[in-house]
Structure formats: C-alpha cells, structure tokens
Structure 1
Amino acid sequence: MSLVNFRDPAALTDPDGLWMRSGALFRSAQPFPAADRATVDQLHAHGIRTVVDLRGDTESDPADWAAAEAAGIAVVAARIDPASDTLTAAMRTMTTAADLGAFYLLMAESAPEAVTAAVEAAARPGGTLLHCAAGKDRTGLTTALLLDLLGVPAEAIAADYVRTTAALPEIFAGLADRHREALNDASAGELAVPPPLLEAPGGAMAAFLTLVGSRHGGTAAFLASCGVGAATLDAFRAKAAAEVAAC
C-alpha cells in the first residue's frame, strides 16, 4: 500500500528551487498496515535510500519496514517518545496552537539523541524519508528544523505542515487499527488527546520556530546542542540546499 501523507516538501514549498532541492527529503505517516511491495516501489521511484522512524518503541513493529530493509533501504530508529511525565503534563494543559508549538519544542528537547540520529540520516546520500505515526508532529518538527537549516522561510515551512490537514481522516482511520488511544473516544466521555494535537494548525509550527530562535539562538545552535556535528550540518546542506542557495 502506498504511504499516506507522503510528500516532498520542496515540490510545493519551494517550486522555484530557491532554497532546497527536490528529491532530498520526504515525509509521510507510518505505513498502514506495514510496508509492502507497493510501498517499496514508491520509495524506489523517489530515490529514497534511508527511512527515519521517529516513533517510540511501543508504537513500532519490526515488521513495519521489513520489506524495505529486504530491498536494501536503510531504516534508522530515532525514537521520540511523547509519553514522558513532562510531555504528558504539557499535553494535559494544551489548548491552543501556540501550546502545541511549545509541546513540539519540549519533544525535541527531550530527545536530543533522536534528533541527532534523524539529522545524520537526512545527511546521507540519496533521498531520506522521515515519518512518525501520523507524519504530523514529530515528523513536522524534524522537517521544520531541516527546512529552516536550508533557509526556507517560516511561513513556507508552516504551509507545508498545514498540508497534513487534508490527510488527517485517512491517517486517523489507519491509526485506529493499531493505536486506538491516539484518537478521542467520545463514547468514553473522556478526552484522550487535546484538540490541537488532532489538527495541523499553522500557528503551532510558527510558534515552534519562534521558540527555537528565542530559547536556543536558532536551528543550527539547537541542533549543535543536541549533538549534531558541524560536518553533518554541512553535509545536509550540501545534499539538500538549492544550487542557487549554496552558491
């Protein structure tokens, strides 16, 4: 089955190739139910040689990408687990898009090794696919950091993030089969997840990028604090930056 919420951010975010090269970086939801021949064909058709799985241990299954690995595609585990006490507390008080943006920064700050692993994988030759469960939150923040490194304007990064909105019904249907707790169960009379997490509001991504700048001095400085080396940042820019931007 083809991947849901699959796209190359460059295709719509930067169609004139001002900041990034098409074919370097992709994003999607997790495979539903697992990667098969059609999924592998999709990856090969786009030149994807590395898949970065941002899900936590309890969300993933070795069978999810077995077909891709058998076809020679590398799969890198970069676990960002949203179930820590700090993140759970932030989730309980989340009511606005700005709160969601702050939550994204907390997730990134809570998993520096995963952020580093994801950026190192994105710097590898060939196309790199980032995904989490929905391809919205962890995928969104990681993609945003990488696009910001390339100089993509914040409003364009937010616009790419918002594009996930159209795929949310299909995503939630797929998640319901494996992660029913990811959806609000109205019959139970309880809110399992705050409303902003069930949406893709542009304000969340704008808030996230603003906080990265105000609290960490920008994306490059934040990634360095996570453990990403200067050589990795240079390698990613050399691979993914538009030729005009790299000159």
Structure 2
Amino acid sequence: KHGKTLKPESVRNQLETSLKRLRTQCVDLFYLHAPDHQNPIQDTLQACNELHKEGKFKELGLSNYASWEVAEIYCICKHNDWVLPTVYQGMYNATTRQVETELLPCLRYFGIRFYAYNPLAGGLLTGKYHYEDKDGAQPAGRFFGNSWAGAYRDRYWKESHFKGLDGIQKALEAAYGSEKPTLTSAAVRWMYHHSHLKGDLGDGVIIGMSSMEQLCENLTAAAEGPLKQEVVDAFKHAWDLVAHECPNYFR
C-alpha cells in the first residue's frame, strides 16, 4: 500500500513493520537506505524525528547519498532541532575508493561515522572469479544466478578490475612467497590498516558471508596486521586502473 518510498507515511510503515517482525519496541539504527528523489527530504526527516521521539530507534543512518545531500540533510536536521544522522553506510574497498575524495571529509566535518559495505567488492576480491567466467563457468556467488547478479556485474565486472587483481596476486607472491595470504585476507587487511577508515572515530567494516568458512576467514583476516608496502602499492595501482569506470557511491 505504501510502496518503498521515503514519504512520511511509508517511512513510518516500514519501521513499524520491521519492529513487529523483530518483536521489539526499538532498533539501534534506522537507515534511509537510498535517496528518494520524488519526495521532499524535509518531510522524510520530520517523520524520522517523530519516530525517534516515540523511542522507535536510537540512531539515524544514511546510505547511498551524495556528499552534498548529506550536508543538506544534516543542516535541515540541525536547523529544526531534529535527530541528526550519525552513521553513513557506503561502498568502499581496496579497488573502489570513490568515497575518499569528498564523502569522507564531509562525514568527518559533521561527526558522522562510516560503515563500509562491499569490502570484498561483492566477492571479486576473493580471486575466485575470472573475467571469462561471464561467458562460461559462472561460479556460484553474487555475480551469477540471482536477482542482484546483473547489478553486481555492472558494478564490478570490468576487464581493468581483473587486470588489477592479477597485479595484486603477483605482488603477494613476490612479497610473501609460499607464505602468502589469500587475496581475501589481503583485501580485508587493507580495509583495517591502509584505508581511510578510523576505528577511533567509530568507523566499521560490514562483513558478509554465505558460509561459516567465509565468516572465519574474514574474522581471522580482520585480526591480522598490516600488509607489506609492495602489496599496498599493487592495490593502489589496481585502483588507478579501475577508477575511471568505478561505480558511483551514491544513487
């Protein structure tokens, strides 16, 4: 009946439906998951403030908004004394660094912490895929055989991406030899030690998994130390190769 818009009644309906399904009175974090360019944002934010005053969520989050929209939203909330956004969930990984230029400085300015999604580029940074797979093998995972597969292929399936990954694999081999970490481990370690994220400001990495094995690998990597400089350089070179066709962090 309400549709997935950010109209006030739809926002209320979506949160209250979630609370019912979760069998709880309040959630820690309520996200506006993506912009709704058809409806005025101040109406949405006023509705969020009412829901916050009713004790239905603790913190307001944003996701997939451009940095100028974050600034606009923050200022509207501040001006009206409404609940301020305190978290931004955005796409960020070793070969998708668009957020570094303008979004992260904007978030720092407003004291909004950043939670990174797609830290493994939808699984591309595991090294289990090859560019030719799209015409043949199609291994199980996020890129084939599900409703989001096309969107993920559009986002990351670029020849330049695979060329960059090849360079990273070679750098891992040269730097570590037979003791080399997996590409997955290196990509997770890059997030924790070489990215622009700051743990002391409350930033975080959203780790996904489709098996217990993946969860264990990701958590193990998150606890390991920094990478050797030549591997960090190879990640930077990979980013330079793909930057010109990198997907936007906003919608």
Same fold (TM over 0.5): no
Q: Which gives a bigger RCO, structure 1 or 2 (Cα 8 Å, sep 6+)?
A: 1
Larger Rg: 2
TM-score of the pair, normalised by structure 2: 0.36
